[in-house]
């Protein structure tokens, strides 16, 4: 039977308050003569505490003059320091000599299997709640997929298919996250839920910096699908890239170049680029430069060239064809000729080529020379200077008779718009892949 303890031994030990900041700590005072029986009381107190702790069943305690000596063995290495801390908190203890060693026997260290058994039992008890939480999360997530599945509703609300798909994806994501939050709250894993959401936020920030170009391209795709800066089969110039538009996807704008190649431009670059659309206005002007001899009359050349352009059937009467003096060189005068066509009826490249030939013929038939740069070469002092200008013709040579552009047969050539690239674009757009990925909407206005 445990002997009775005096009243002062039963008083709970209260830890000493820490000294105020800035004041030196006061060490515990050791009495000169201990009270008779204090060592036994200290030993009994420590044994009583250790008896309630299964980890310290094999620990022996001896006390002499307030010095506590601990010996024995424990299986948990952390319990060694814990035993010394507990003993040192008992009133009257001067110091603790800790000689406890770790028990490395197989029998003692197999106690972890018992803890696994306890964990398994706890998991089996939690399993019904875990199943219910999983069902709730699945129901909430499935509800989100069901709502997002009403494609007709979102297609009517959103201005285009790309934005409608973005709304559906956002709804599915929000409902799935909401279901997981509810399930974790039911399981009492609020701290885990906060850690997961916080970690997801940090990861999201890191990914946003790492994938900045991808995110920029994605937002540009959304803006282009709303703005619709061009139509399918439009002839456009995007920065330095020229071709006809095949389709607009969620990542890139696909062009077919004028020589039949596919050109993929990232939407982030398209959104920031200067876009020149040749198709929006059917009237388009072409121009070219021809030079006449410096001794010729440039005003007459301008009139003859403008009349030759106006006589071409594919050149529009309004705006009328004009000519302008570009500059005066060392051996010729450069004249720029300008005329307009309707692209729905005439091809720009064909029209310009035939117009150059017609104006050249008209000027030459009127006696105008179209000289290359002329260099005067003197062999010796007795050589006569070569005549310049129209005087270069020999005396017995006669200038050719003027021939009208109609008589030359030039205007009878085909100037209809080229259809090869247009037909190739339409064929690809009618394919299943082209229809599934195209974000261009013919029902929306073009900016």
**Domain harbouring 321, CATH code:** 3.30.70.100
pLDDT at residue 330, rounded to an integer: 77
Whether 331 and 373 have beta carbons less than 8 Å apart is answered as yes
SS3 346: coil
pLDDT at residue 377, rounded to an integer: 64
CA contacts within 13 A on the Cβ side of 364? 12
Q: Which domain holds residue 130?
A: 112-188
pTM: 0.54
d(CA 218, CA 105): 63
280 or 28, greater pLDDT: 280
Shared domain check, 116 and 96: no
Shared domain check, 131 and 94: no
The model's confidence at residue 21, banded by pLDDT at 50, 70 and 90, is: low
Residue written as tokens 């100037």?
Answer: 415
pLDDT at residue 5, rounded to an integer: 41
Shared domain check, 95 and 169: no
Q: What is the average pLDDT score of the chain?
A: 78
Instruction: Identify whether 390 is part of a domain.
Output: no
d(CA 230, CA 279): 9
Q: Which of 164, 188, 212 is the last residue of a domain?
A: 188
d(CA 348, CA 234): 14
**Closest to 305 in 3D by CA, of 349, 370, 350:** 370
**Closest to 187 in 3D by CA, of 125, 139, 140, 143:** 125
Distances (CA, A) of 421 to 194, 414, 437: 57, 17, 20
217, containing H or E segment:
helix 212-227
**Positive or negative, the Cα torsion across 100, 103, 109, 114?**
negative
Shared domain check, 136 and 92: no
Assess whether pLDDT exceeds 60 at residue 40: yes
Each residue's pLDDT tens digit, 345-400: 999 999 999 999 999 999 999 989 887 766 666 666 555 555 554 444 444 445 44
d(CA 323, CA 310): 11
Percent of the residues in the chain that have a pLDDT greater than 70, as a whole number: 72
Instruction: Identify whether 6 is part of a domain.
Output: no
Shared domain check, 56 and 122: no
* Lowest mean pLDDT across 150-164, 242-256, 293-307: 150-164
SS3 72: strand
Assess whether pLDDT exceeds 60 at residue 315: yes
pLDDT at residue 12, rounded to an integer: 42
Average pLDDT over residues 213-242: 86
**How many domains are contained in the chain?**
3
pLDDT at residue 41, rounded to an integer: 87
Instruction: Identify whether 355 is part of a domain.
Output: yes
d(CA 233, CA 423): 9
pLDDT at residue 228, rounded to an integer: 85
Shared domain check, 346 and 310: yes
Could you check whether the bond before residue 319 is cis, i.e. omega within 30 degrees of 0?
A: yes
Task: Please report, to the nearest 10 degrees, the dihedral formed by the alpha carbons of residues 231, 235, 236, 242 taken in order.
Answer: 140
The model's confidence at residue 408, banded by pLDDT at 50, 70 and 90, is: very low
Whether 116 and 90 have beta carbons less than 8 Å apart is answered as no
Q: Which of 188, 222, 241 is the last residue of a domain?
A: 188
Instruction: Identify whether 162 is part of a domain.
Output: yes
The residues that bridge with 255 in the sheet, in sequence order, are: 245, 263
pLDDT at residue 18, rounded to an integer: 47
Cα 254 versus chain centre, distance: 18
pLDDT at residue 196, rounded to an integer: 66
The model's confidence at residue 208, banded by pLDDT at 50, 70 and 90, is: low
Shared domain check, 94 and 125: no
pLDDT at residue 16, rounded to an integer: 44
Q: Which of 67, 102, 137 is the last residue of a domain?
A: 102
Shared domain check, 88 and 140: no
Assess whether pLDDT exceeds 90 at residue 323: yes
CATH code at 45?
3.30.1340.30
Neighbours of 58 (CB within 10 A): 14
- Ranges 26-35, 40-49, 104-113, 117-126, most confident: 40-49
The model's confidence at residue 337, banded by pLDDT at 50, 70 and 90, is: very high
Shared domain check, 308 and 341: yes
SS3 260: coil
Each residue's pLDDT tens digit, 186-201: 877 766 666 666 766 7
The residues that bridge with 254 in the sheet, in sequence order, are: 247, 264
* Lowest mean pLDDT across 137-146, 279-288, 348-357, 428-437: 428-437
**Positive or negative, the Cα torsion across 411, 412, 415, 420?**
negative
Shared domain check, 132 and 69: no
Instruction: Identify whether 259 is part of a domain.
Output: no
Instruction: Identify whether 16 is part of a domain.
Output: no
Average pLDDT over residues 400-421: 60
Instruction: Identify whether 84 is part of a domain.
Output: yes
Whether 231 and 438 have beta carbons less than 8 Å apart is answered as no
Instruction: Identify whether 333 is part of a domain.
Output: yes
Shared domain check, 169 and 97: no
Assess whether pLDDT exceeds 50 at residue 26: no
């Amino acid at each position: 039977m445990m002997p009775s303890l005096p009243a002062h031994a039963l008083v709970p030990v209260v830890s000493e308050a820490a000294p105020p900041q800035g004041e030196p700590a006061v060490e515990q005072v050791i009495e000169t003569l201990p009270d008779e029986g204090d060592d036994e009381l200290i030993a009994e107190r420590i044994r009583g505490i250790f008896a309630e702790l299964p980890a310290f069943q094999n620990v022996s305690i001896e006390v002499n003059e307030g010095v506590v000596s601990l010996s024995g063995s424990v299986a948990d290495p952390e319990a060694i320091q814990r035993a010394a801390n507990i003993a040192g908190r008992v009133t009257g203890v001067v110091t603790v000599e800790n000689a406890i060693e770790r028990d490395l026997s197989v029998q003692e260290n197999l106690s972890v299997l018992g803890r696994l058994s306890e964990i398994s039992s706890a998991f089996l008890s939690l399993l019904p709640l875990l199943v219910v939480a999983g069902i709730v999360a699945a129901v909430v997530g499935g509800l989100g997929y069901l709502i997002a599945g009403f494609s007709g509703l979102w297609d009517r609300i959103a201005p285009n298919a790309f934005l409608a798909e973005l709304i559906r994806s956002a709804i599915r994501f929000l409902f799935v996250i909401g279901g997981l939050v509810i399930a974790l709250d039911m399981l009492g894993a609020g701290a885990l839920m906060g850690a997961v959401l916080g970690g997801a936020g940090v990861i999201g920030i890191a990914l946003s910096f790492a994938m900045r170009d991808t995110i920029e391209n994605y937002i540009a795709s959304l803006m282009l699908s709303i703005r619709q800066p061009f139509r399918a089969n439009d002839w456009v110039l995007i920065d330095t890239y020229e071709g006809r538009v095949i389709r607009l996807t969620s990542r890139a704008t696909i062009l077919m170049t004028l020589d039949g190649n596919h050109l993929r431009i990232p939407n982030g670059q398209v959104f920031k680029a200067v876009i020149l659309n040749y198709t929006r206005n059917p009237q388009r002007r072409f121009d070219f430069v021809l030079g006449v001899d410096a001794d010729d009359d440039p005003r007459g050349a301008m009139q003859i060239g403008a009349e030759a352009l106006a006589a071409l059937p594919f050149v529009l009467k309004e705006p009328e064809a004009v000519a302008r003096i570009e500059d005066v060189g060392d051996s010729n005068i450069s004249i720029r000729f300008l005329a307009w066509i309707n692209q729905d009826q005439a091809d720009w490249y064909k029209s310009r080529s035939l117009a150059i030939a017609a104006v050249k013929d008209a000027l030459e038939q009127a006696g105008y020379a179209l000289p290359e740069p002329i260099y005067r070469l003197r062999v010796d002092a007795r050589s006569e200077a070569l005549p310049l200008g129209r005087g270069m013709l020999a005396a017995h040579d006669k200038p050719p008779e003027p021939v009208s552009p109609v008589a030359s047969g030039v205007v009878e050539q085909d100037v209809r718009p080229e259809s090869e690239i247009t037909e190739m674009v339409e064929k690809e757009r009618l394919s299943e892949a082209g229809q599934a990925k195209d974000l261009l909407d013919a029902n929306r206005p073009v900016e």
